[in-house]
Amino acid sequence: MRNLMESRFTNRELVREPKCPFCGNPLERPCEVEGISSRGMELGTCRCGATYAHDATGHNLGSAMSEALVYGCGGDWDKAWNLMPDEDYLQDRVENYDIESHLIVPGGTYDGRRIAGVLYFILMKSRSCEVEPLPSSKLEVPGTSSTYSAGKSRLRRSYSKGEIEGYIRDYNMAALLEIAAFDSRVIRSLQRMLYSVDPIMRSKASEAMGRTAAVIAEREPAVVINLLQGLITSVTDTAASSWGSVAAIGEIIGANPKRFGGYLPHLLRLSGDRILLRDVLAALGTISVSSPGLLRKYTYHFIPLLRDPSSEIRGLAAILLANLGAVEAGEDLESLLEDDSELEVYKKGSMETVTVRALAKEALERL
């Protein structure tokens, strides 16, 4: 399948939209913040919780770093300088930023002007490092509830790998969400189960990872961002099966699309690998349930998959297009009403065997 995210510029990228290096979400133009911008630098906040400062010349990175750090601490300088890099916060930067056009200019020249601006980013590893909640901390997380706050969770203690595995086997998501409310290490245990030889266990672990990550991201976004980046790297660096990694990426984005929707392009690029296409479609199907708007503009890329030789691809494409409300796929879906090929689809803790015909019929009824 042709890469869904193929750039308009095949050989050279002229300009691009600025995006957060941690979560991939588009950024708002930074501006001066009264009472915090002590050096006249413009500041901004990403929806993932990262703060950033604009250095127009690229020669004052130290000042930009301190401005972004203090902004992330609500303006408390004493608090900021008691934090340790890597231990308490992550750092990154985006170069060749032009604040006038609000664009990244890789070539360094735009409209006859030299572009040397830098956006310096700070992402706190824990919300406890912040003095006041940033706007992004008010984002609603689909599928979670304040019931899973640390104060209302079950007795805090260490949980063994065996206990976590037992919760997955029993599909006890409530217990896992309670653990995630105070212990982010649960996602590491879940990550190991992505490589289970049992496909149902892999699918359950992927779903649990998405739901627990949504809880953890509210207080420790860096933990989930590192997890997402690691999952993406593991898939792109491995020529063999992705095991449960692609499904986990889809579950994490689907459980919190406002915060992690910026990682969607990474998932779409994987669709160019035929070996991964089945897993990518299933992951996109997960995302399309909670946030169809993220995928709606790619509808015409998915319609040809209804004619794919693989029954799994045809069936998963039908599910995805139904979630997207793709009325333009109606004729192609009708052509599948006599397709008795079977495939397995994961739903809420179990695998269901369905026919392509049944999925096409359901899709047409929803359009």
Residue range 148-200, pLDDT digits in tens = 444 444 445 677 888 999 999 999 999 999 999 988 889 988 998 998 889 99
pLDDT beyond 70 at 353: yes
141: Cα within 13 Å, side-chain hemisphere? 29
Say which residues have a Cβ less than 8 Å from residue 95's Cβ, sequence separation at least 6.
58, 104, 117, 118
Q: Which helix (H) or strand (E) holds 300?
A: helix 299-302
Token couple for 143: 């599928």
pLDDT > 70: percent of the chain: 85
Least confidently predicted of 37-51, 103-117, 128-142:
128-142
pLDDT, residue 238, reads 61
Neighbours of 29 (CB within 10 A): 12
Residues 330-353, mean pLDDT to the nearest whole number: 95
pLDDT, residue 161, reads 81
pLDDT beyond 60 at 140: no
pLDDT, residue 127, reads 59
Residue ranges per structural domain of the chain: 43-137
Residues 264-281, mean pLDDT to the nearest whole number: 92
Residues 225-233, mean pLDDT to the nearest whole number: 88
Coil, helix or strand at residue 92: strand
pLDDT beyond 60 at 9: no
pLDDT, residue 186, reads 92
Residues 50-69, mean pLDDT to the nearest whole number: 90
- 209 closest CA partner among 264, 246, 182: 246
Q: How much is the mean pLDDT over the chain?
A: 85
How far is it, in rounded angstroms, from Cα 150 to Cα 183?
A: 9
The length of the chain in residues reads 367
Q: What are phi and psi of 184, to 5 degrees?
A: -70, -15
Binned at pLDDT 50, 70 and 90, residue 39 comes out as low
Only one residue has tokens 């319609």, namely 303
